[in-house]
Structure 1
């Protein structure tokens, strides 16, 4: 999707633009949301809520950032608000595993081994506290730079780097690394 400017948003058909945003970023937002709540059904619900917020706010988009950055900021804030909510703190969530793709180039044995290793890594990342999980997910799974993560989360670069180091140490310990 070509990034729309604030002027284009004011003159374009909001519904068409919104459909394009959902098409372009729906899966990414779903995965981001899942990284916070670790529950597919809940991630789907929160993703719908995020897109409702996006739709209602689209006409007020000022163009100070890209639509993707703006949408991700809405999603991150919505997920954090949910995690702070009474509902989340009082209701136990069932743990679900994310499905893993398998490359056609791998032998079956290699694919099974890699899949098990990947599942174990994902499980351990998802067990991290949110403040450590968030930068790890955004950096390694979404391939965002530390600077981009800092801009999205409103957290200083050095804090992001520190949290990533601590998260990597926790992962190393939990995965039995030396």
Structure 2
């Protein structure tokens, strides 16, 4: 059954910026974030009638967005591996531009530092990265993150702590190497 247009339009109007920003934080690329945002709302449109309201619509959209981003990253990484082993991805430009840093909220002079920070964030485990982004970038509380990730609050606290510890280590090494240049 297709959901009512006004319900979906309202859902989109209320949450499209949140979905886009979360995708942008994960992927650091405007076009990829726009594609994911579109994919999230296509999936939400088709699943809205079956939404069981066991969580809020916002939590549900967060979960869909995170899963879409993680799937996108896995697909992109597998494309890179194929290219490395002699098979090209769908386009060479896609491969060459896969690691660009494009985030409109970052001032030009801070883009290099932000790119290094996001490079370190991208090296975290999926759960640590998700918890860190939801907490420190999107500003969600630990109980909200626990609901989105379907974990206990103490697990979320642990993930954020380990993410911060790992980031401190990775960034200190990066900046130490940067100072040596």
Same fold, TM-score > 0.5, yes or no: yes
Kindly state the Cα deviation for residue 134 of structure 1 after the two structures are TM-superposed.
Answer: 1.0
Compared with structure 1, are the counterparts of its residues 100 and 134 closer, same or farther at alpha carbon in structure 2 (3 Å cutoff)? same
Kindly state the Cα deviation for residue 168 of structure 1 after the two structures are TM-superposed.
Answer: 0.8
Q: Distance in 2 between matches of 1:154 and 1:129?
A: 16
Per the alignment, residue 70 of structure 2 pairs with 80
Compared with structure 1, are the counterparts of its residues 154 and 65 closer, same or farther at alpha carbon in structure 2 (3 Å cutoff)? closer
Per the alignment, residue 90 of structure 1 pairs with 79
Q: CA RMSD in A?
A: 2.9
- 2:66–2:130 Cα contact (<8 Å) kept: no
Q: Distance in 2 between matches of 1:128 and 1:37?
A: 14
Deviations 1:34-56 (A, max 9, x none): 23333221121111111000111
Normalised by the length of structure 2, the TM-score is 0.70
Say which of 21, 34, 47 aligns to 2:37.
Answer: 47
Compared with structure 1, are the counterparts of its residues 90 and 51 closer, same or farther at alpha carbon in structure 2 (3 Å cutoff)? same
Structure 2 gaps of 5+ residues are 81-94, 176-181
Compared with structure 1, are the counterparts of its residues 72 and 89 closer, same or farther at alpha carbon in structure 2 (3 Å cutoff)? same
Question: How many pairs align?
Answer: 155
- 1:76–1:153 Cα contact (<8 Å) kept: no
Normalised by the length of structure 1, the TM-score is 0.71
Per the alignment, residue 105 of structure 2 pairs with 100
Q: Distance in 2 between matches of 1:117 and 1:42?
A: 20
